[in-house]
Structure 1
Amino acid sequence: MLSTPELVARIRAVTGDTQEGLARRLGVSYPTINSWERGRSEPHARRRRELEELAESLDIRSELSVLVIDDDPVTAEIVRAAAVDVDASVAVSSALDGWEGLVVCGALKPRLLFLDVMMPGLDGLEVARRLPSIEGLDAMEIVFVTASGSTTVLERAAALGNGVLTKPLELDQLAGVMRTALNGG
């Protein structure tokens, strides 16, 4: 399931609507659409259903849910850029720290997780250790991302996940991981 900001952004991209245009289409105010798209608020259940029905009518689907947990927001933007090249059915969400990431994982149940190893507070290795306690994540693949060249760090990450990518991230490499996940591999 797409997050509300991603859903609103996808609908606007397909329809060419401005925030004002989408607000008129749904019978809500422009600030409401702005708030949804920026993730500041969530629509009530009836409005969320209307968004989902509109998305369905526009053939917008989320076949691959990707989550990026990284304290550097640029990483999420790079993953989003790679996702555009993969398929329109890839939905990318992000969290800026390990605690928020655990909450988002529980809510979204992503199929693919790009997880930064070194973050302040709860680091990526600890996040990975805690993920099995969250129901519904059995099929999730974890790909660690790190700027560290330490053999110890890379080995620990490889033992806890399905792969490790080193920063700076390359679009082709990210796209390859997403294509593999999208094709069930």
Structure 2
Amino acid sequence: MIASADLVARIRRATGDTQEGLARRLAVSFPTINAWERGRSEPSAKHRSALEALAAELDIVHEFAVMVIDDDPVTAALVEAAATEFGGAVSVHSAVNGWEGLVTCGAVKPRLLFLDIMMPGIDGLDVARRLPAIPDLADLRVVFVTASQSPDILARAAALGNAVISKPVELDTLAEVIRNTMEPSRR
């Protein structure tokens, strides 16, 4: 769920409303909108529902969680940079090893996972085999990111995931994968 402050800001950008204009639209006071947008207070359940309805009407994408499991922090930094294209609609979570990644996937419930194959401890192929045991990940898209050129490893990755990207990864490629995965989740 998008934080209220971010949701108000996105609605104002989408409508072109000032804080005063959005206040009139929602039948609340200007200071109320100001407080919501600055994170000083939260809307009541009724007003949050009104914000959610307006966001759905405006086709505002709710926060889309992306996970990166890679022992190389450069990959996570590139995914975060690619995510900035989506103006806060994408949250990026990362883990530096397979065990930490599995735990974080269980907590975050990402829709997209960029998964390194060659990592110390539990490798990406083993992580992918364990993902189905985590509840609420049925819609998870797994994209392997690897420097491996081994036909055997690449074939196993292709069988376990949705795609394989070779390292070094390109920023545009990552943004395209995020965009293509987000499309079905648009409201």
**TM-score > 0.5 by shorter chain:** yes
Comparing 85-94 with 165-174, greater Cα deviation is found at: 85-94
Output the TM-score relative to the length of structure 2.
Answer: 0.67
Q: What SS does the aligned partner of 2:184 have?
A: coil
Q: Which amino acid aligns with 1:164?
A: V
Indicate yes or no: 2:142 matched with 1:111.
no
Alignment of 1:136-175 (within 5 A): 136-175=136-175
Counterpart in the other structure of 1:78 = 78
Aligned 8 A contact 1:62 1:91 in 2? no
Cα pair distance change 1:183/1:126, threshold 3 Å: same
Counterpart in the other structure of 1:40 = none
Q: Which amino acid aligns with 1:75?
A: T
CA distance in 2, matches of 1:53, 1:91: 21
CA distance in 1, matches of 2:150, 2:86: 31
CA distance in 1, matches of 2:179, 2:69: 19
Alpha-carbon shift at residue 182 of structure 1 (Å): 0.9
Which blocks of at least 5 consecutive residues in structure 2 are unaligned? 10-38
Cα pair distance change 1:113/1:51, threshold 3 Å: farther
Counterpart in the other structure of 1:27 = none
Give the % identical residues.
56
Q: Which amino acid aligns with 1:145?
A: V
Cα pair distance change 1:156/1:89, threshold 3 Å: same
- RMSD value, Cα: 2.7
Alpha-carbon shift at residue 150 of structure 1 (Å): 1.1
Alpha-carbon shift at residue 69 of structure 1 (Å): 0.3
Number of residue equivalences: 140
Counterpart in the other structure of 2:29 = none
Counterpart in the other structure of 2:69 = 69
| Greater Cα radius of gyration, structure 1 or 2 | 2
Comparing 84-93 with 127-136, greater Cα deviation is found at: 84-93
Q: What SS does the aligned partner of 1:139 have?
A: coil
Alpha-carbon shift at residue 52 of structure 1 (Å): 9.5
Cα pair distance change 1:159/1:87, threshold 3 Å: farther
Residue by residue, what CA displacement relative to the aligned partner does 1:101-135 show, whole Å, maximum 9, x if unpaired?
A: 00000000000000000000000000000010111
Alignment of 1:12-91 (within 5 A): 53=42, 62-91=62-91
CA distance in 2, matches of 1:175, 1:114: 12
Counterpart in the other structure of 1:95 = 95
